[in-house]
C-alpha cells in the first residue's frame, strides 16, 4: 500500500460515508483534477473532519481546508463544504429532536432529566476527540437540561462546564425523562430501551426495526 496515499472521509448521513482515495499530490492540489476511486461503506461512519494518512497517522483537520486550496487553483469542492456544513449542524438538529420528543409529553428541555448513551467519537472506542455527542451535551446543558450519561469506554466526562461520571446501564433509567443514543456501542441493550425510558431519541438507527410512540429518530 502506498504510504503516501490519503483517505478523505466525508459523512453523508449517519449510516453512509464516501471515501475518496487519492495521491498525496491531490491534497496539495498540484494535480487538482485527480482521479478518485469511490468506496462506500455501511459498517461505520467517519466525520468529514478526518483525513487519514494511510499506513501512518490520523490527522484531525478543518474539512474546508481542501476546498480553500482548490479555490486557490481555480476549482471548487462544493461537496466537501456541504458535508462540513451538514456535520456542523447535526448536534443542534439532535437537540431540536430532543425538544420535540419532550414536547410530545408536555415537557421542555429546561429542567428535564436527559440521559445520553455513548459520548465517544464512534462505536466501541474511548476516543472523544471531535465527538458530536459533546456538542449535543453542551447544547442541552445550555438549555437547562439535567444531564447524565452511560459510556463504558469513557468513565468520566469533563466538558462545557460539566463534570460527570458514567452511570451503569442498569441504573440509567432512574428518574430520566428522555434517553438519547449518540454513540451506538455494541454493549448497550437497545431492545430494552423503549420499555425502560419514557422517550428515546435514536440518532444512530440503533433501534432499527423497532416501533413505538416513544421512539424518535432523526
Check if the beta carbon of residue 188 is closer than 8 Å to that of residue 118.
Answer: yes
Alpha-carbon distance of 194 to 172, in angstroms, equals 13
Tell me the domains of the chain and their CATH numbers: 6-76 (no CATH), 90-217 (3.40.50.720)
CA distances from 181 to 44, 129, 141, 149, 150 (A): 16, 18, 16, 10, 10
Q: What is the pLDDT of residue 62?
A: 59
pLDDT, residue 165, reads: 97
* Grid cell for residue 2: 502506498
| This model's pTM is above 0.75 | no
pLDDT of 63 reads 61
Residues of the chain with pLDDT under 70: 1-64
Structural contact between residues 160 and 134, judged by C-beta atoms closer than 8 angstroms: yes
d(CA 174, CA 26): 52
What is the pLDDT at residue 58? 37
Give CA separation, 129 vs 106, 113, 120, 132, in Å: 35, 25, 8, 9
Amino acid at each position: 500500500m502506498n504510504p503516501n496515499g490519503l483517505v478523505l472521509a466525508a459523512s453523508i448521513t449517519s449510516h453512509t460515508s464516501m471515501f475518496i482515495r487519492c495521491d498525496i499530490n491531490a491534497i496539495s492540489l498540484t494535480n487538482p483534477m485527480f482521479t478518485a476511486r469511490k468506496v462506500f461503506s455501511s459498517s461505520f461512519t467517519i466525520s468529514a473532519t478526518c483525513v487519514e494518512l494511510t499506513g501512518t497517522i490520523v490527522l484531525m483537520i478543518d474539512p474546508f481546508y481542501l476546498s480553500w486550496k482548490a479555490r486557490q487553483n481555480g476549482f471548487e469542492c462544493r461537496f466537501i463544504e456541504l458535508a462540513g456544513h451538514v456535520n456542523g449542524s447535526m448536534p443542534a438538529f439532535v437537540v431540536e429532536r430532543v425538544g420535540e420528543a419532550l414536547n410530545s409529553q408536555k415537557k421542555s428541555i429546561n429542567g428535564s432529566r436527559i440521559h445520553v448513551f455513548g459520548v465517544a467519537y464512534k462505536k466501541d472506542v474511548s476516543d472523544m476527540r471531535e465527538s458530536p455527542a459533546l456538542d449535543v451535551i453542551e447544547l442541552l446543558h445550555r438549555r437547562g437540561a439535567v444531564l447524565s450519561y452511560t459510556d463504558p469506554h469513557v468513565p468520566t466526562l469533563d466538558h462545557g462546564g460539566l463534570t460527570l461520571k458514567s452511570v451503569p446501564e442498569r441504573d440509567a433509567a432512574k428518574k430520566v425523562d428522555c434517553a438519547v443514543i449518540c454513540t451506538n456501542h455494541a454493549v448497550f441493550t437497545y431492545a430494552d430501551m423503549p420499555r425502560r425510558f419514557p422517550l428515546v431519541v435514536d440518532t444512530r438507527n440503533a433501534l432499527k426495526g423497532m416501533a413505538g410512540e416513544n421512539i424518535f429518530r432523526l
